[in-house]
Structure formats: structure tokens, C-alpha cells
Amino acid sequence: MVSETDQKDITGTTLLTLGARHWCISHKQFWITEPKCKTKVYPDELPNTSVVIVFHNEAWSTLLRTVYSVINRSPHYLLSEIILVDDASERDFLKMTLENYVKNLEVPVKIIRMEQRSGLIRARLRGAAASKGQVITFLDAHCECTLGWLEPLLARIKENRKTVVCPIIDLISDDNFEYTAGSDMTYGGFNWKLNFRWYPVPQREMDRRKGDRTLPVRTPTMAGGLFSIDRNYFEEIGAYDAGMDIWGGENLEMSFRIWQCGGSLEIVTCSHVGHVFRKATPYTFPGGTGHVINKNNRRLAEVWMDEFKDFFYIISPGVVKVDYGDVSVRKALRENLKCKPFSWYLENIYPDSQIPRRYYSLGEIRNVETNQCLDNMGRKDNEKVGMFNCHGMGGNQVFSYTAEKEIRTDDFCLDVSRLSGPVIMLKCHHMRGNQLWEYDAEKLTLRHINSNQCLDEPSEDDKMVPTMKDCNGSRSQQWLLRNMTLSA
């Protein structure tokens, strides 16, 4: 046993072990939730669950904190088993020491060893294949479950077996392991680069719940580390894409697939699970982090995003050079499940997506007089937009002129708040006003509706920044909106 020695976490933080049965979980019996959740009554006959936890070189402290919190804060009749999947860890205490330790725990704990480093996706597939519970609950290896975390998840699946449910993910500091409650006012989305992001829950979803914060939030995407799913439905819907490597993109791929193929994805606000959010990934990615994630994202884009994959490719031009393998099996799955198009997903599930549903152009905005292009430079909020030589490679020179009359790149919009500028990039707020533009396809002008001025070439004072001037029809106020595509 390792309980009388300090262990170094993967982050480098020293974890003090206390040598007691509950040493690996917080001393408080956490019940961090909406007060009304405590009065909710759940059916006696709930499905049981297998809890699958994948680990790779995890610290003893964080791994056992996860396991003990599952055991101590879950009704045991609902726990079919805990399955620990070791993704080729190299630390000695995760071998026989762990094997001997879990034999004495109160619920069945099974350890499965991957023969070689396979990554989260394939390790989870192995754990799921070995599971016996009616529901599979996936957790990361550095979590802490709170009181009452499990019943709300299982009750929702009992209501509808095609509902995939996530808890509210609370924050555990990777500096001092302090526990901070998460918010029920955010849900999952993504940007043009297919990075998962948390965004405020929109008013339409608040209205649907009629002010009852104990009701689940329908979320377009999930973070992917923590969720429960009916075991049979997991297989029916296509499990994970086994062609993906290690980690990255699998959460969006599953989110798109669930919604487009007839399921639903929810955050169950009466369930809370803490998660250690690390400042940087401590793991190595065979082949390199960027290559792995780009390959995975290409697979999900090719199978699920239809023509909207161009937003991803054009802002991340290097991704089209990545070999993403054969996706014919996944495309056949989509056809067999009779899944809806991505346009349906954007229209019905994620209408406030950073990807516009309707747009006139996607590509460069080139000035006729200077033959230079608008450039978003660093994609930073409240930063001036630039003018540089057009390179035709997408990235910072990609803008979409939308049907809502926004000029946007990802979640930033071209914005002018004062006469004569400056022209800056601000987070799109969808409140129109300073972010509203009218493109005249005959005169080739971009008129800022609020100021009634036109976008013009840079001035002599700053030759890298476009200006705003009274509309006069000059060549310096003419812009070509060129559609581009970098699809392979």
C-alpha cells in the first residue's frame, strides 16, 4: 500500500496521503446542487450501471479518490461493477499494488490491462465490451462524485433509453485540489476549429425549462469525459469511432451522432461530479498531439458535418493534409441509422452555433484598390482587424458574410462603435447594432449600417488597418468576397 508516502501527481503537485480508508476523497460529504434537487424522488427500480474508468500513469491519490467517491456516494444496489482500464501505465504502484488493493473494496472492481498504449477511445471500448451493467457510466480517473450524483442520471435514462446524460462538471483545482461547484447556466458548444467550448445556456432553453432549474439542459455537445448511456443503446448508436486515435474529437463526434440519429444529449443539473482540470495535458500522444487531434476531427467532419466541414478546413488549412483513414464504415452507420443532415442539427439543436446556418460567402475579403485582404491577425477579442497580402490559405484571412449581415470569423465579428473607426473584432453578440453590415454585390461596398459609412483602405497613418469613411464609390471602398474551400 502507498498510503504512508507522498505521491507526485502527473501535474507535479504533491499529494499527501492520509493513511485512512477515506483518505482519497474530500473530508466533506459534498452535496453541491440546486436545493430543490434534494426533494426530488426517483423510482425504486432504476437500471444499474457499470462505471468505466480509464487511466494512464494516474497518481494513486487521484485514481483512488475517484474510485472511493463512486463507492461511498452511490447506492450499492445501483453499482454493477467498477471497471478500471489501464492504458499501459508504467508506474509500479498501478500494477500489483493496485490489484491487491481493490480486492478489499466493497463493490466488484475489475482491472483490464491494455497490451500497449491505445488511448482513451479504444480503452473505453474495451471497458464497455467487458461491462455487464444496464448502463455504462464513463468517468475520468481524476474525479470526485458528490452525494446524489448517480440516481438523477439513471432516472433520466429510465425515462428514455436514447437519452445520453452528463452531470454538471465541478472544478477541482490542480494546484491544491480544492472543490468548486460548477454552473447549471452553461452548456456545451464548439467553434470553427472544432474545439469544445462552454457557452451560456441560451434564453430559448431557459424558456423550455420554464424556470425549473432541476430539469435537464439540452446541450448540443458534451465535454466527453463524464457521461452515462444505456449499454445497448451505446452499441446501437455506434459506440466510439475505433478509427480515432488516443483522445480528441470523440466527444463532438458522439454528440453530433446522438442528435442527428434520433437520440438526445442532456446535462442533468441535479447530478454533480468534480473533475481535476489540468493546465496542460500530462500525456504523450504517439504521433504528436496536433496530428492525432487533426486526424480525429477530420474523421468526424467527413462523416457528420456535410458541407459545413468547410468552416473547419478553411480556418485550419493544415488539417487537409492529414491522413484520416477509411471512414466508409462510419458513413454506412450514418446511412443505416437514417441520420439527419448537419444542417438539421444547426437549425434545431444548435441555432446559436458559431457556424452560421445561412451565409453568402466563406473566404477572403479582398480590397480592389490595394489587392490586400482583411486579416484577423491573432483572433483576439477587441483587437483591430488588419490588412495584409492575400495568401489564399484561409486561416486568419477567412471571414463569413452571413444572412444575419455579420462579418464573422469563428465567434468574432467585425465591429465599429465610433464614426471613422477603429474597425475591430469583438465577440459576436447577435444584438445587431455595431456588428451589422450591408454588402452591395454591384457596387462591391461594405456599408456599416449603424454609421452609414463604408469600409475603406488603410490610411497613411496606419497602412495595416482598414478605415471607415463616408461612402463615395471609390475603388478603395470596393471589396471582393471570395468563396474558398480547402476540402481534400
**Looking at residue 470, which CATH number applies to its domain?**
2.80.10.50
Residue 24 has pLDDT above 50, yes or no: no
Q: How many domains does the chain have?
A: 2
Residue 384 has pLDDT above 90, yes or no: no
Which runs of E-coded beta strand occur in 90-195? 109-113, 135-139, 143-145, 163-172, 179-180, 186-190
For the chain, percent of residues with pLDDT exceeding 70: 89
Has residue 298 been placed in a domain? no
What pLDDT band is residue 445 in, cutting at 50, 70 and 90?
Answer: very high
- Kindly state the cell numbers that stand for 231: 449499454
Name the amino acid, one letter, at 321: K
Based on the domain organization, do 63 and 169 belong to the same domain?
Answer: yes
- Please provide residue 359's backbone torsions phi and psi, each rounded to the nearest 5 degrees: -150, 155
Predicted pLDDT of residue 4: 28
Name the amino acid, one letter, at 208: R
Structural domain span for residue 159: 7-276
Domain containing 35 — which CATH number? Answer: 3.90.550.10
- Cβ 123 vs Cβ 54: under 8 Å: yes
Predicted pLDDT of residue 483: 85
The whole-angstrom distance between residue 8's C-alpha and the CA centroid of its chain comes to: 29
Has residue 417 been placed in a domain? yes
Last residue of a domain, one of 276, 291, 323: 276
Has residue 123 been placed in a domain? yes
Last residue of a domain, one of 276, 306, 341: 276
pLDDT tens digit string along 304-330?
999 999 999 999 888 888 889 999 999
Name the amino acid, one letter, at 456: D
Predicted pLDDT of residue 211: 85
Q: Which of 292, 307, 198 is nearest to 247 (CA)?
A: 292
Has residue 309 been placed in a domain? no
CA atoms in the 13 A half-sphere facing the CB of 74: 31
Residue 2 has pLDDT above 60, yes or no: no
Based on the domain organization, do 267 and 368 belong to the same domain?
Answer: no
pLDDT tens digit string along 151-175?
999 999 999 999 999 999 999 988 8
Predicted pLDDT of residue 23: 36
Has residue 335 been placed in a domain? no
Based on the domain organization, do 135 and 237 belong to the same domain?
Answer: yes
* Crossing angle for the helix pair 328-336 and 289-304, to the nearest 10 degrees: 40
Last residue of a domain, one of 276, 303, 332: 276
Lowest-confidence range among 63-67, 213-217, 462-466?
462-466
Based on the domain organization, do 253 and 396 belong to the same domain?
Answer: no
Has residue 317 been placed in a domain? no
Predicted pLDDT of residue 420: 72
pLDDT tens digit string along 196-244?
999 999 999 999 999 889 999 999 999 999 999 999 999 999 999 999 9
List Cβ neighbours of 284 (8 Å cut-off, separation of 6 or more): none
Report the pLDDT averaged over residues 392-416: 92
pLDDT tens digit string along 268-313?
999 999 999 877 666 666 666 667 888 999 999 999 999 999 999 9
Based on the domain organization, do 20 and 145 belong to the same domain?
Answer: yes
- DSSP 8-class letter at 341: P
pLDDT tens digit string along 170-204?
999 888 888 888 888 999 999 999 999 999 999 99
Based on the domain organization, do 22 and 168 belong to the same domain?
Answer: yes
Has residue 354 been placed in a domain? no
Predicted pLDDT of residue 10: 31
Has residue 441 been placed in a domain? yes
Based on the domain organization, do 80 and 228 belong to the same domain?
Answer: yes
Predicted pLDDT of residue 145: 96
Report the pLDDT averaged over residues 331-354: 96
List Cβ neighbours of 462 (8 Å cut-off, separation of 6 or more): none
Based on the domain organization, do 397 and 268 belong to the same domain?
Answer: no
pTM, entire model: 0.89
| Residues 243, 238: Cα–Cα separation, whole Å | 12
